[in-house]
Amino acid sequence: MYINLNNATEPLVSVIIPTFNREYCIGRALNSVINQTYKNIEIIVVDNNSSDNTKETVFKYNKYKNIFFYNIDNEGIVGSSRNLGMKFSRGKYLSFLDSDDWWVTSKIEKSVKKLESGFDIVYHDLYYVYSESLKTYFWRRSRGRSLSSPIYNDLLVNGNAINNSSVVVRRDLMLQINGFSEDKKLVSAEDYDVWIRIAKKTNKFIKINQVLGFYWKGGGNLSSLHSTIISMNEILNIYSKDISKLTKKGPVGFDYTLCRSYYDFADYGNAIKFSLNVFFKSPPVFIGLKAFITLSVSIILLILTVFRKNKFQKSETKVKKFMHVITGLDLGGAENNLLQLLKNVDRNYFDFYVISLTDKGVLGKEIENLGIPLLTLNMKRSAFRLFSIFYGIFKLAYYIITIKPHYILTWLHHADMIGILASKLVGHKRISWYLQCSVLSPDIIPLRNRLLVRLLSFFSKFPETIYSNSKAGIKEHMLKGYKPKKRITLIPNGFDTNMYIPDIYSGEKMRRELNISSEDPIIGYVGRYHKMKDFNTLLLSISELLKIYPKLKAVLVGTNVDYFNLELLKQIEKLKIKNILLLGQRRDIPSIMTSFDLLICSSISEGFPSVVGEAMSCGVPCVVTDSGDCREIIGDDNYICNIGDYRSLVKICNKILKLSLSEKQEMNFKVRKRIIELYDISIIAKQFKKIFA
């Protein structure tokens, strides 16, 4: 055990970690505390009711007896979480660590040494980290400054010098000032406010001139430009009397904080304005140098922006021009998702345009029948050859200039890249990405696609917003280094429950077409032939079920799931499966699904598998592997098994097939009801309208 509460020679340090939806990184923070050279530590994790697996991730550390977990509804005020942690803490000293930051192993030891020598609060620099590669550079760091006495005056005039995740402070001092403010107006400056209030009590601040931690800048950070401005104005309001006594020109720290905030949000005009304000107030050398760098870079970027900028003025009309850019329009989950949105979003608010990087594909005609302009770039599909890429960028840029859309939404990785480059070229800022993929592992995705994702991770700070159709997609892209301006927003796929309906007549008609008796059970599969779909597990399951139900029929539908696929035929022959039909690519999926008794999704990895929702909307029970967002869609662990576990698939399928008629009808009603209540396309269309209109 790494903690030793009984060691009287070492004072206890309480590390407080507030968190929300940080399943993907909180383990890194916890490990950095567990591995400290200083051992007398307790860890207090305060979770703001995360909707991901943050709690489960923390509970994996339950062998460490001094890790404590608390829930809170902090209403967006992280100070509330820190105060709750402080309330339950027992240490002589408190240390605060954001759940996406982490420390070097000697951080606590060096901090406690300074505190025990007579100081009240210790802090240090942190390296900025922008991607999951975790690379650091000496010039990329959160640089604090050594404060001059009186500390209170220095903080008020010259601004915040302390990063929250670097601090270790006496607990009794924090209790004297009643902890962090829980005022919503201070949400982006609550730590700055704490240091000011501590400075009223003591001058014993010390900066350790070493980099002892890492500050995550790769997306999902709490502050926004709007909240920063509100919080800084509130600081001015609270301490206005003391500030006016200290300086007639106003606090230089206020202007420097705003110049950096405007710069981070690419508002270079205001970044220049507040940088100049810094110089007019005779700043300390350290702040003046940083302001000069910000000013110089902002001027260059502003000139480039003005040089390229086109006029994309907001229309006075209610209807907004909305451009969708997608890689292609053949049959696929993303393509069908786009089509469903175009059909169901209120057209009184949007004037849609669709740009296909390739051609009109299978779905182009349906889009044109909706009266929506469809334009194609006719880029070549072979990894988008170099000439084709440049041609596509400039042609899309031309369409952006001529159409002048209010918003651009790109679908799929290639469209994300071409879209962001074209919009940058002409100065259009209101572009967002809609992630439709969650499978980025080397054994499934080709090298060129993985390289594209790596490149996109660099550009991911430029879109106004990034959306994803699955929680799995959000997690995977964040792990690959995506660093969005704000948290990736979930917009799941929607299903047309008026098209995918339980229809006994259509089911019987399809059975006659396929020459299958109404008495024979049918197991269905819908999806393309790809190794991520794990056909080996699917076919093994079918083979075993045929031993139990000799009259069972397996109906497989999808791209390359046909009798021309020699690799698939060899797998079927090897397992000696007889009662199997390969229908290939079909457009009458709703009718085919109504003939199924159940549907299997045996995938190794998924994002948000539309076929599962479509089948459930038809009243068809689904048995799935625990991949992607399958668990979210199904909502019942009894019909989920581990990836590759064909025996469990067989067991669950057998359980469903053995149900009585009344039990089957009850189950059919239940699965359809879940889709109607959570994923009906009208719900998703309203969410889309709320976001963009």
DSSP labels for 358-391? S--TTTHHHHHHTT--EEE----SSS--HHHHHH
pLDDT at 6: 41
Architecture of domain 13-220: Alpha-Beta Complex (3.90)
Mean pLDDT confidence for 334-343: 89
For tokens 């979480």, the residue is: 81
Return the top range by mean pLDDT from 135-139, 183-187, 610-614. 610-614
The answer on pLDDT for 11 being more than 60 is yes
Question: Which residues in the chain are classed under CATH 3.40.50.2000?
Answer: 320-490, 504-679
Per-residue pLDDT band for 313 (boundaries 50, 70, 90) equals: very low
- Span of 263-272, 370-379, 413-422, 624-633 with lowest mean pLDDT: 263-272
Neighbours of 80 (CB within 10 A): 21
Average pLDDT, the chain: 86
The predicted pLDDT at position 518 comes to 87
Contact 623, 633 (CB under 8 A): no
pLDDT at 371 over 80: yes
Q: How far apart are CA 495 and CA 612, in angstroms?
A: 10
Q: Over 80: is that where the pLDDT of 130 sits? A: no
Homologous superfamily in CATH for domain 504-679: Glycogen Phosphorylase B; (3.40.50.2000)
Q: Indicate whether 289 pLDDT > 80.
A: yes
Ranges 3-17, 140-154, 271-285, 327-341: which has the least confidence: 3-17
Alpha-carbon distance 85 to 15, whole Å? 9
Q: Does the pLDDT of residue 382 top 60, yes or no?
A: no
Q: Where are the alpha helices (DSSP H) in 427-549?
A: 447-459, 471-479, 504-513, 535-548
- Residue 5 has a pLDDT of 43
What is the pLDDT at residue 230? 80
Choice between 152 and 64, residue whose per-residue pLDDT is larger: 152
Residues contacting 641, CB < 8 A, separation 6+: 623, 624, 625, 626, 648, 649, 652
What's the confidence (pLDDT) of residue 227? Answer: 75
β-strand pairing of 205-216 with 102-103? antiparallel
CA distance 374 to 433: 19
The fold of the 320-490 domain, in CATH, is Rossmann fold (3.40.50)
Relative to beta strand 622-625, strand 67-71 is unpaired
> Comparing 74 with 179, which gets the higher pLDDT?
179
Is pLDDT at 140 greater than 70 in this prediction? no
Q: How far apart are CA 585 and CA 528, in angstroms?
A: 8
SS3 42: strand
Confidence bin at 673 (pLDDT 50/70/90): very high
**Mean local confidence (pLDDT), 568-582:** 92
CATH 3.90.550.10 residue ranges for the chain: 13-220
In whole angstroms, give the CA distance from residue 512 to residue 507. 9
- Once rounded to an integer, what is the mean pLDDT over residues 519-526? 93
Model confidence at 387, pLDDT cuts 50, 70, 90, reads low
Nearest to 356 by CA among 404, 419, 304: 419
* pLDDT (mean) for 559-579: 92
Q: Is the pLDDT of residue 597 over 60?
A: yes
- pLDDT band at residue 135, thresholds of 50, 70 and 90? low
Looking at the DSSP bridge assignments, the partners of residue 123 are 207
**Arithmetic mean of pLDDT, 83-104:** 93
Q: Could you tell me the pLDDT band of residue 308, with boundaries at 50, 70 and 90?
A: low
Residue 311 has a pLDDT of 45
How many Å apart are CA 309 and CA 213, to the nearest integer? 40
pLDDT digits (tens, 9 = 90+) for 489-511: 888 888 888 888 888 888 899 99
When pLDDT is averaged across residues 561-568 and rounded to a whole number, the result is: 92
Helix (H) or strand (E) holding 321: strand 320-326
Q: Is the pLDDT of residue 310 over 80?
A: no
What is the rounded average pLDDT of the residues 149-158?
90
